[in-house]
Amino acid sequence: MRPSGRAPDQMRPISITPNFTRHAEGSVLIAFGDTRVLVTASVEERVPPFLRGKGEGWVTAEYGMLPRATHTRGNREAAKGKQSGRTQEIQRLIGRSLRAVTDLKLLGERQITLDCDVLQADGGTRTAAISGAWVALRMAVDGLMQSGKLTVDPIQQKIAAVSCGIYEGTPVLDLDYPEDSAAHADGNFVILEDGRFAEVQATAEGACYDEEALLRLLRLARMGCTEIFRAQAEALR
């Protein structure tokens, strides 16, 4: 039995609120249950130094967690003077996932930055961030197309992400915090609408897992992403 009473293949309620803030070219508040992440997409008409003059664009992400998004207060990274390894790992994953569905040549020499800030955390912040970031990116690119700055759409696929893990011996979908901290293995899966993978990361936490278990996690993840794709589509309608 899951602490929340959910079935093993049951997602938490997903909500995606578009235009949660007004300055950014794309902005959503995405919630997977009590996990809430504010994502903004910022378009800048310049690229990082390593891309200058190459006629290509860049999509990147930054991730942060408010100090009291969690049960006990964490130190503010700006005050500590550096981002943790965890933060860097997550923001690299988000950026890589979105670049996997973007044709950077078609984007032209501009950069889109996805800022993913966790207002409240209850497990799955990085997968909520990726799922919300795709919507914010979509909104920003739609704006570029409406304004005529882009004529061909550089976004090639829909993408979503969800975590799954083995909790008390059972593979379950969309871990919340109590499950996440007790799971024997957990993974993050970044999936296209056609079922292919952009990223699979599955980590043993206390007990290694076999191929069969991995395949069950993959299947759960695909089920979860189907729901997320639906929520993304609704938010963009």
Q: Which positions make up the binding site for phosphate?
A: 86, 124-126
Binding mask 3-42 for its own copies (x = CB under 8 A): ------------------xxxx--x------x-x-x-x-x
Q: Which is nearer to its own copies, 170 or 203 (by Cβ)? A: 203
Instruction: Out of 18, 98, 102, 115, name the contact with its own copies by CB under 8 A.
Output: 115
- Residue 48 binds its own copies (CB under 8 A): no
Instruction: Out of 203, 230, 233, 234, name the contact with its own copies by CB under 8 A.
Output: 203
For residues 219, 223, 229 and 231, what is the CA-based torsion angle, rounded to 10 degrees?
-150
- Other CB atoms closer than 10 Å to residue 130's CB: what's the count? 32
**Residue linked to tokens 């966790």:** 118
Residues 6+ away with beta carbon under 8 Å from 68:
74
- Residue 96 binds its own copies (CB under 8 A): yes
Which pair of structure tokens corresponds to residue 59? 């999509």
Which DSSP state fits 102?
A: B
Q: What is the CA radius of gyration of the chain?
A: 18
Distance CA 194, CA 143 (A): 26
- Is residue 106 within 8 A of residue 90, CB to CB? The reply is no
| Residue 183 beta carbon to its own copies: minimum distance, rounded to whole angstroms | 14
Contact region with its own copies (CB under 8 A), list: 11-19, 109-117, 146-154, 228-236: 109-117
Footprint of its own copies on this chain (CB under 8 A)? 21-24, 27, 34, 36, 38, 40, 42, 44, 62, 64, 66-73, 76-83, 85-89, 91-92, 96, 100, 113, 115, 117, 119-121, 157, 187, 192, 195-204, 208-211, 214-215, 218
